[in-house]
Amino acid sequence: MLPYNRNLKQYSRQLRENMTDAEKHLWVKVRMKQLKGYQFYRQKPIGDYIVDFFCPRAKLVIEIDGSHHLVGETIEYDRIRDDYLSSLGLRVLRFTNTDVLTDIGSVVDSIRGRIPLNPPFSKGETGVPCPPSRKVETVTSPKTVTSPFGKGRARGISTGTKGVR
């Protein structure tokens, strides 16, 4: 589990309510599992930092940097922050506001390229493939299934209609 500073919770909420134009533009492209089925969160506290976007399954942090990130002390601050996030096993991608606002397609392609082809396994699954003798069926169209309990009855629960229990 990643470190979490609960003192940043209210501030992260405020940041979500007041997103920059570039953050809004990218959020439209990554929200609701649009990239390979991966969930992204915005303005997520991790340790003593709040990252712009975070995808826990891909262990990916996305930062959208304004012009103030390109000068002076902010460069060093970002380097220290990136080193900290990397020490937690996270990958950090940085894009400028200009990149996001003028070439969103390339930004999204770059993010998509950093996400594994298949999502990681869910709890309890293993990386062991099915034995070759086991048949795997691909269903291409839904089949109509008739209830064995008759009309109005399901799983032996009476719904007010007559029938055998």
Q: What is the Cα–Cα distance from 65 to 98, expressed in whole angstroms? A: 9
What are the tens digits of pLDDT across the range 89-119? 999 999 999 999 999 999 999 999 999 876 5
pTM of the model: 0.70
Average pLDDT (131-139) is 32
What are the tens digits of pLDDT across the range 12-57? 999 999 999 999 999 999 999 999 999 999 999 999 999 999 999 9
Among 81, 96, 20, 14, residue whose Cα is nearest residue 46: 81
Tokens of 19: 């997103």
Contact between 153 and 147 under an 8 Å Cβ cutoff? The reply is: yes
What domains does the chain contain, in order, with CATH numbers? 6-114 (3.40.960.10)
60: CB partners within 8 A, 6+ apart? 54, 90, 91, 93, 111, 114, 115
Among 42, 95, 59, residue whose Cα is nearest residue 51: 42
pLDDT score, position 122: 56
